[in-house]
A and B are shown apart, each in its own frame.
Chain A
C-alpha cells in the first residue's frame, strides 16, 4: 500500500499570512501521462470533505485562487497565499494511483 504522510499535523495560522502543508508518498504518484494522482481536500468543522486541488496542481471549481498545489513524484505542497478565517479545518492529501486509495493523516489548521 502507498503510505501518505503530512507535515505539520497541526498548523496555527495568522489571518493574512501564508501557510504551507507538505504531503509525501511512499511511492511515486507520477502517471505515464505526466499527471500526479494526488489530490487535496479540506474538511471544515462539522462538514463533509471538499475537493481543493486535483492531479497535483489543478484547482477545483469554485476554489479561491489563494490555494495552490505543487510538487511531483513523492513530494507535494499545498499553499495558502493569505489565510482567511474560513480556511480553518483539517486538510488531507489523497493518492489514487493504485488501490487501496490512501489518505494522509490530516493537518489541522486553526487561527492563532
Chain B
C-alpha cells in the first residue's frame, strides 16, 4: 500500500527548531515531487513547501522562506522539513504529501507542531 508516515512533531518554544520527517513506501519515490501542507487548529489547509524529484529545486511559502528548509533523501525514500526560528503561528498539523501534475494524490496522517512558551 502506498504510504506516507510523518514524525518529529512536538512542543517547542518560540524561536526554537524542529525537524519533521516523512517516510515514503510502496511507490517509486524518485518519480515524484514531494510537499508539506499544514493546518492550524480549526483552520484550513496551507501549502508550505515543495521539492522536485532530484532535490535540485525547492519552493516555499513566503512566510517560511529563510526559516524552513525542505530536503529529500532518495536513497532512504524520505523527505524532511527543517523548521527554525519557529513562531506561534507555525503551530498546526503538518502533512507530508505526494505531488503529481498539479495535485497531491497521497497524504500522510500528519504530525502536530505546537509552538508555545
Residues of A within 8 A of B (CB): 35, 37-39, 41, 43, 48-51, 54-55, 60, 90, 92, 94, 96-97, 99-106
Contacts and interface: CB of A to CB of B under 8 A. Distances in A.
- In the A-B complex, the 10 residue pairs with the closest CB atoms: A101-B47, A96-B102, A54-B103, A37-B102, A39-B103, A48-B107, A103-B45, A99-B59, A106-B44, A51-B105
B47 to A, nearest CB: 4
Contacts of B102: 35, 37-39, 54-55, 96-97
Interface of B: 35, 37, 44-47, 50, 59, 61-62, 95, 99, 101-105, 107-110
Contact of B109 (A38, A48, A55, A103): A48
A49 B105 contact: no
B13 to A, nearest CB: 27
A59 to B, nearest CB: 12
B47 A55 contact: no
Contacts of B99: 96
A105 B44 contact: yes
Contacts of B103: 39, 51, 54-55, 60, 94, 96
14 contacts: A38-B102, A39-B104, A43-B45, A49-B37, A49-B104, A51-B105, A54-B103, A55-B103, A60-B105, A92-B45, A103-B45, A103-B46, A103-B47, A104-B44
A39 B70 CA distance: 23
A60 B47 CA distance: 20
Contacts of A105: 44
A100 B67 CA distance: 16
